Amino acid sequence: MGKDYTPTPHNEAKAGDIAKTVLMPGDPLRAKFIAETWLENPVCFNQVRNMLGYTGTYRGKEVSVMGSGMGMPSIAIYSYELYHFYGVENIIRVGSAGALQDDMKLKDLVIAMGASTDSAYQGQLDVPGHFAPLADYGLLEKAVLAAREKNISVKVGNVLSADGFYNFNTERTRKWANAGILAVEMESAALYINAVQAKKKALSLLSISDHVFTGEELNAEERRVEFKNMIEVALELA
């Protein structure tokens, strides 16, 4: 029998405390909100560094939800441990993103088929070229069907996982838009790379909360409604 690496320095859960499918918002308080709103009998399995995690059931299926923190280094740590130490098979990122294309609207749901990045994180794969981090197609197909059944406006394509939130050079962002990138966020590429390395599955669902070039943005109540739509799509994948 192999060595049990749990708990970890970042997660006090024991082996068996976490479901095979985990939803990961960036904000740990959103993880708490998801657990208390949608899951039956949620139990908190982690409070280390206030990165809250819960396991409960949704329509009879065991599901976990845990915060990832902001940026690729943070989600890389938590998703690596979930895949390698806790037996997690599917991680579904649920977050917000800024639109880059002129035909995109606030409230659109973006499903990240691919995640381009300006990060050096993929260097760990040591491939002789530039690796293209992709979602699991099975999860992606289910998400598209679930969104359409709920009449949610959905776009599927490539997103940018950026290392910087505050952009000193907007012309660089325009170049990503010219390359067909739908939206910008900060985590998906690291998640997809970790899934490939672990031979597991990942998908990012992103709700458009603002438009980078027009300056449009949702107010707090609108963000809450669209967040609900995204979570209900994600839970259909559990």
Q: Residue 98 and residue 198: Cα distance in Å, rounded?
A: 29
How far from 181 is each of 22, 46, 98, CA to CA, in Å? 26, 35, 11
Q: Are strands 109-117 and 53-58 parallel, antiparallel or unpaired?
A: unpaired
The amino acid sitting at 148 is R
Tell me the CB-side half-sphere exposure of residue 73, using CA atoms within 13 A.
3
Total number of residues shown for the chain: 238
CA distance 100 to 84: 34
- Residue positions annotated with a catalytic role: 210
Residue listed under structure tokens 């479901």: 19
Distance CA(27)–CA(24), nearest Å, equals 9
Backbone angles phi, psi at 116, to 5 degrees: -70, 165
Largest interatomic CA distance in the chain: 56
Contact 57, 63 (CB under 8 A): yes
